[in-house]
Amino acid sequence: MILISKIIVIIISCSVLSLSLDNAIQAGDKMRPDPCPGSKGGQPNLLRCPETLPATETTINGEVLRLEGDTYLLQNPNGKEVRLQVDPKTQVTGVINRGDFIEAKMEEVDGQQVLQSIREIKK
């Protein structure tokens, strides 16, 4: 008889614990930041924002000082050295060599600057 009562207590305890964890998980889902902060009223579980959020795009111009594999070291007009990392998604127009003047377009993706395109410009 004692064994059956212990089993029942364990089963009930596990059920209560699982319900508590389920509520905690749901509460955590509600605390995620809104992927569309400009929307009013909000709709849960949106795959896309109703409007496209403005992308933060930056253009960098400068002279190529060095090429190190997939990394370009350039000097912008202010004299500051800038390191650009090319990845497989980066559009590279033309052949870029040391001494060339280039225009690089960067875009913020998930909080990080990503090199979108790079092209030679005539000076």
Task: Report residue 26 as tokens.
Answer: 């749901």
Task: For residues 24 and 68, state if they share a domain.
Answer: no
Contact criterion met (CB below 8 Å) for 82 and 117: no
Looking at residue 62, the DSSP 8-state letter turns out to be E
Angstrom distance (rounded) from CA 9 to CA 3 = 10
Task: For residues 115 and 64, state if they share a domain.
Answer: yes
Angstrom distance (rounded) from CA 24 to CA 101 = 55
Task: For residues 84 and 109, state if they share a domain.
Answer: yes
- Provide the domain count of the chain: 2
Task: For residues 38 and 63, state if they share a domain.
Answer: no
What sign for the dihedral angle of Cα 13, 15, 16, 21?
Answer: positive
- Whole-prediction pTM value? 0.53
Which residues lie closer than 8 Å to 36 by C-beta, 6 or more apart? 42, 46, 49, 50, 51, 53
For 38, 58, 116, the CA distances from 41, given in Å and listed in that order, are 10, 32, 33
Task: For residues 40 and 5, state if they share a domain.
Answer: yes
Kind and range of the H or E element at 15?
A: helix 2-30
Task: For residues 45 and 89, state if they share a domain.
Answer: no
> What pLDDT digit, counting tens, does each position of 59-96 carry?
899 999 999 888 999 998 888 998 999 988 899 988 88
> What pLDDT digit, counting tens, does each position of 5-53 carry?
777 878 887 676 666 666 555 555 555 555 555 555 555 544 555 555 4
Angstrom distance (rounded) from CA 37 to CA 33 = 8
Instruction: Look up the domain containing 6 and give its range.
Output: 1-52
Task: For residues 48 and 63, state if they share a domain.
Answer: no
Task: For residues 42 and 84, state if they share a domain.
Answer: no
Task: For residues 61 and 41, state if they share a domain.
Answer: no
Task: For residues 33 and 11, state if they share a domain.
Answer: yes
